[in-house]
Amino acid sequence: MTVAERVKQVTARMLKVDISDITDASHFVRDLGAESIQSIELVAAFEEEFDIEMDQDEALSVQSVGHAVTYIEAVIAEQK
């Protein structure tokens, strides 16, 4: 499974949205309805899913699903 597929699965589970409604362009707050506490929970869920540690401020600045995929791929590459 790709990073993008896993990001979408985690996003769908955490925000209780249908995975088919999630695209790379989906904005976590505007399109998927994430509230600030959910954004923090999403960061934690991504860290757990990918077994990585993300910088909290950097991670919370990520606003779209596609940006999250790019960011997580970069963190994975750094931490290997």
- At residue 15, the pLDDT reads 97
Burial class (CB in 10 A: 0-12, 13-18, 19+), 77: exposed
User: Residues of 46-66 as b/e, b for ≥16 C-beta within 10 angstroms?
Assistant: bbeebeeebeeeebeebbbbb
What residue has token string 């860290």?
Answer: 47
pTM of the prediction?
A: 0.94
The CATH number of 3-79 is 1.10.1200.10
Sequential pLDDT tens for the chain (80 residues): 999 999 999 999 999 999 999 999 999 999 999 998 999 999 999 999 999 999 999 999 999 999 999 999 999 999 98
- At residue 3, the pLDDT reads 98
